[in-house]
């Protein structure tokens, strides 16, 4: 530009800011701010777009305070916020569930004489749908229509998504029909949403039917469509099909993306197949795809599950240096990990660390902390956190309330549990199956079995949907009281409703039979079980318990030696050598241990260090260069 004697203008600056701010990486919004300051020094006059771009950057990093501050300083530069400014902020706030800020902002918007446009309404509809408040969402649409703005395809897709998330697929399908009547053609997004919705409630044949229907209408499946199907295979544990789906995707000339790989990595992690995890991560790298926050969090979770808290913590605290954006999920994952490891102090400390880093927790992460506190008998402290989140304008959900009810029950304070439950009922809290089971278990623990049975009967007569946990809770309690015949009565009832019996039921029953000196009947029970092959397998697994998980790492002695070599190299940071050694072992057909795979996977994650820092530096260079060009051309 300089050579051509062209002067960079506002558009140059905005474009630069846009590309810099829209890639969420560490400190990208800070870099934007720096760039703007530099530009201001040179005498640039920002326009409303400049500010909107910066606000979007802040929102991407959930720095709402900064974004709002920017909104209020625009006037100093002769700019007035427009609908885009407000919509940007509203959208981000809705996504984080910060409803009180949304309300304030809408009032603020009104006071400036701006009227919500269709995007604004759609953002609000989405916000309510994400909270699961479909009635409120419908109300927004009414207001919208009243103000002369008709719902468009986005509005419908948002609503369909909201219904699918609640498992109300049939209503979602009706909306699709309604769309067609209004000549708003359902598009790829509509179908992806519906297909995903069907899978979520295990209606896979409907999902595949929709996939065919979609193709029949000339709508070509896109990456998301494939990712949805692949996710279903993963959920079903059909990893063969999942990896086939990956291949098919490539054959269809669609490129698998981070989502695709993260889905697979997560599934392999959960299956304990670290060899495949490693393979997938490697493949990602070969395709030029960078691992992101989700990949990181998946692995953090995996480490926590393995109770390798020290390694998880190390990874968490060094991740941002490696160019990863650490988020509330990363922290939440470790907080749960520490609570499960009975290290509540570290969990709470981590929460404070997160806050110090200005990472804003959503209700999800609050629930992790509250749940942990309740499990260690610190319900009072948990209520303190509940109040805190309310003050922050977050809305608690069923999980929040259930955790606290569980906390009271666990402390043996049944009265307070019910009292809290009743008070929450007045606050639009809808008890779910978890609530029922928690209360039931609470009563049973406190020797109030009669009350529990009575409550159960009222639920039955009200036609409430109960599950196997409900039955097992009562069966277990009856067994402990030696009321075997009553327990067997419930087993029969459970069987009638096709809810079991399952391994929990059998464990309760066998224990009770043995205690009653009726070992012979245990035999009978076991033989009944043999007809239900899977259940027996489960019982055996539960009996063996920890032994299985401990020994799953067992391999022959030589492989232990080889594995140690790999681990050692990784610890020394000699990742390349470790990889080479690994390659040799694979060729020789030597299997390596889980721990060695973990070392290799960490290596892959850590390797991002060089890539990322080079990346950031490059940005910086370009930035400085842009600056000098701007400066010298003036």
Residues 243-262 that bind DNA (CB under 7 A): 257-260, 262
Q: Which stretch binds DNA (CB under 7 A): 60-68, 273-281, 326-334, 625-633?
A: 326-334
Instruction: Tell me how far, at minimum, the Cβ of 94 lies from DNA, in Å.
Output: 9
Is residue 306 a contact residue for DNA (CB under 7 A)?
no
Instruction: Tell me how far, at minimum, the Cβ of 590 lies from DNA, in Å.
Output: 31
Candidates 365, 379, 510, 602; binder of DNA (CB under 7 A) is 365
Candidates 229, 294, 449, 626; binder of DNA (CB under 7 A) is 294
The residues near 124 (Cβ < 8 Å, ≥ 6 apart) are: 90, 94, 102, 116, 137, 140
Shorter beta-carbon distance to DNA: residue 95 or 574? 95
Give the CA distances from residue 300 to residues 251, 347, 605, in Å, rounded to whole numbers and listed in that order. Answer: 32, 14, 11
Is residue 176 a contact residue for DNA (CB under 7 A)?
no
200 contacts 164 by C-beta, under 8 angstroms: yes
Instruction: Tell me how far, at minimum, the Cβ of 543 lies from DNA, in Å.
Output: 16
Give the CA distances from residue 199 to residues 167, 172, 236, 243, 498, in Å, rounded to whole numbers and listed in that order. Answer: 10, 14, 10, 18, 21
**Binding map of DNA across residues 373-402, x = CB under 7 A, - = no contact:** --x----------------------xx--x
Is residue 560 a contact residue for DNA (CB under 7 A)?
no
Is residue 327 a contact residue for DNA (CB under 7 A)?
yes
Instruction: Tell me how far, at minimum, the Cβ of 295 lies from DNA, in Å.
Output: 6
Is residue 333 a contact residue for DNA (CB under 7 A)?
yes
Is residue 120 a contact residue for DNA (CB under 7 A)?
no
577 contacts 569 by C-beta, under 8 angstroms: yes
Nearest to 378 by CA among 354, 341, 347, 418: 347
Burial class for 245, CB neighbours closer than 10 Å (0-12, 13-18, 19+): buried
The residues near 109 (Cβ < 8 Å, ≥ 6 apart) are: 86, 116
| Cα gap 552→173, rounded to integer Å | 45
Token readout for 364 is 């999800």
Three-state DSSP string of 315-355: HHHHHHHHCCCCCHHHHHHHHHHHHHCCCHHHHHHHHHHHH
**Binding map of DNA across residues 527-556, x = CB under 7 A, - = no contact:** ------------------------------
Token readout for 441 is 């278990």
Instruction: Tell me how far, at minimum, the Cβ of 119 lies from DNA, in Å.
Output: 9
Q: Which stretch binds DNA (CB under 7 A): 55-63, 429-437, 518-526, 535-543?
A: 429-437
Q: Looking at the chain, how many residues does it have?
A: 634
Shorter beta-carbon distance to DNA: residue 338 or 585? 338
Instruction: Tell me how far, at minimum, the Cβ of 182 lies from DNA, in Å.
Output: 14
The residues near 337 (Cβ < 8 Å, ≥ 6 apart) are: 300, 301, 303, 304, 305, 307, 309, 312
Candidates 18, 49, 52, 91; binder of DNA (CB under 7 A) is 91
Please report where in the chains the tokens 């203008």 appear, as a residue: 9
Instruction: Tell me how far, at minimum, the Cβ of 351 lies from DNA, in Å.
Output: 11
Shorter beta-carbon distance to DNA: residue 46 or 442? 442
**Binding map of DNA across residues 432-471, x = CB under 7 A, - = no contact:** xxx--xx--x-------------------------xxx--
487 contacts 512 by C-beta, under 8 angstroms: yes
Site for DNA in 478-537 (CB under 7 A): 500, 502, 504-505
**Binding map of DNA across residues 46-85, x = CB under 7 A, - = no contact:** ----------------------------------------
Shorter beta-carbon distance to DNA: residue 52 or 505? 505
Shorter beta-carbon distance to DNA: residue 57 or 361? 361
Is residue 403 a contact residue for DNA (CB under 7 A)?
yes
- Half-sphere exposure at residue 531, Cβ-oriented, CA atoms within 13 angstroms: 5
């Amino acid at each position: 530009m300089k050579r051509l004697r062209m002067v960079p203008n506002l558009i140059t600056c905005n474009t630069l800011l846009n590309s810099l701010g829209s890639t969420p990486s560490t400190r990208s919004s800070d870099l934007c701010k720096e760039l703007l300051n530099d530009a201001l020094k040179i005498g640039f006059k920002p326009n409303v777009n400049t500010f909107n771009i910066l606000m979007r950057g802040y929102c991407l990093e959930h720095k709402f305070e900064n974004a709002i501050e920017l909104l209020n300083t625009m006037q100093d530069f002769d700019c007035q916020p427009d609908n885009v400014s407000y919509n940007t902020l509203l959208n981000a706030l809705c996504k984080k569930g910060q409803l009180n800020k949304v309300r304030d902002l809408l009032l603020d918007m009104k006071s400036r004489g701006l009227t919500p446009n269709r995007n604004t309404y759609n953002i609000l509809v989405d916000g309510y749908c994400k909270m699961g408040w479909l009635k409120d969402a419908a109300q927004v649409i009414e207001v919208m229509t009243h103000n002369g703005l008709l719902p468009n395809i986005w509005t419908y897709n948002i609503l369909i998504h909201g219904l699918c998330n609640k498992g109300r697929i049939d209503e979602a399908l009706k909306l699709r029909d309604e769309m067609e009547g209004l000549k708003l053609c359902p598009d790829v997004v509509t179908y992806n949403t519906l297909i995903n919705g069907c899978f979520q409630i295990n209606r896979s044949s409907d999902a595949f039917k929709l996939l065919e229907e979609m193709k029949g209408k000339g709508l070509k499946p896109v990456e998301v469509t494939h990712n949805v199907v692949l996710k279903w295979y993963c959920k079903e544990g059909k990893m063969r099909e999942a990896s086939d789906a990956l291949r098919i995707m490539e054959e269809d000339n669609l490129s698998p993306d981070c989502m695709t790989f993260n889905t697979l990595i997560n599934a392999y992690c959960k299956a304990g197949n670290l060899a495949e995890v490693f393979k997938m991560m490697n493949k990602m790298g070969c395709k030029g795809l960078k691992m992101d926050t989700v990949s990181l969090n998946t692995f953090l979770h995996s480490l926590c599950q393995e109770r390798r808290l020290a390694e998880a913590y190390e990874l968490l605290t060094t991740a941002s240096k490696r160019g990863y954006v650490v988020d509330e999920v990363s922290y939440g994952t470790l907080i749960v990990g520490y609570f499960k490891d009975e290290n509540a102090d570290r969990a709470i400390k981590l929460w404070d660390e997160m806050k110090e880093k200005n990472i804003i927790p959503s209700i999800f992460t609050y629930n992790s902390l509250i749940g942990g506190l309740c499990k260690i008998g610190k319900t009072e402290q948990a209520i303190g956190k509940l109040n805190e989140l309310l003050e922050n304008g977050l809305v608690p959900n069923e999980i929040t309330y259930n955790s606290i009810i569980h906390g009271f029950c666990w402390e043996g304070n049944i009265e307070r549990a019910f009292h809290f439950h009743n008070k929450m009922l007045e606050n639009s809290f809808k008890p779910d199956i978890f609530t029922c089971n928690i209360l039931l278990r609470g009563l049973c623990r406190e020797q109030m079995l009669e009350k529990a049975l009575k409550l159960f009967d009222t639920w039955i007569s009200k036609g409430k949907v109960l599950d196997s946990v409900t039955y097992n809770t009562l069966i277990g309690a009856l067994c402990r009281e030696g009321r075997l015949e009553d327990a067997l009565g419930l087993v029969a009832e459970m069987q009638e409703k096709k809810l079991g019996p399952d391994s929990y039921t059998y464990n309760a029953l066998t224990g009770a039979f043995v205690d009653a000196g009726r070992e012979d009947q245990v035999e009978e029970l076991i033989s009944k079980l043999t007809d239900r092959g899977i259940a027996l397998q489960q019982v055996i697994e539960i009996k063996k318990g920890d032994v299985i998980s401990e020994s799953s790492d067992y391999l022959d002695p030589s492989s232990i030696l080889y594995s140690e070599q790999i681990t050692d190299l990784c610890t020394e940071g000699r990742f390349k050598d470790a990889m080479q050694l690994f390659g040799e072992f694979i060729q020789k057909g030597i299997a390596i241990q889980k721990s060695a795979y973990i070392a290799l996977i960490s290596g892959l994650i850590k390797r991002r260090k060089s890539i990322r820092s080079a990346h950031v530096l490059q940005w910086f260079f370009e930035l400085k260069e842009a600056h000098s060009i701007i400066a010298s051309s003036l």
